[in-house]
Amino acid sequence: MKDDSINDSFYLQIQKEINRIERKARSYTWMFYFIRIIQIAFAGTITVLSGMMKIKDLDATTNILILGAVTTAVTAIDTLFQVDNKKNTYKLVLFELRSIRAELVYNFIKSEEIPEAIKHILFEKYKSVNSYARELISIDFDNNTNNTEIKR
């Protein structure tokens, strides 16, 4: 719940952070779906071509091998950059930031200002969300997936 009438610097910082993370989450979402569509298209093309062509035809076999190599490269890029994990991480952080923003807006609507005590509590929550996001984003998913526990 966004309220453009709030001019509090903490609220504006939260809103700025939400906008930044929304852009990142959106780009990783598009990248994820783009990679998946390419993988499906190439894999389907390889299947159809290999079923239609004669194995003795070297030109057709070469084309199938090239498509297979491209599919493997796209899959490797997806695996290397962990697009799906990053997309989900940014969405999780976005959810947490939106909950902080909602609490700020609620308090502003309730009393036309945000009490310092509430700001302090929410700022601590904001710091923990940022810390949590840094930890999630910087984890080496290949080496630490099973043995890393993140505490909030």
HEC string of 91-117 equals: HHHHHHHHHHHHHHHHHHHHHCCCCHH
CB 74 within 8 A of CB 39: yes
pLDDT at 121: 92
Which amino acid, one-letter code, is at 118?
Answer: I
Ranges of residues in the chain with a pLDDT under 50 are 140-152
Q: What is the spatial distance between Cα 84 and Cα 94, in angstroms, rounded to a whole number? A: 15
The CA distance from 117 to 108, in Å, is 13
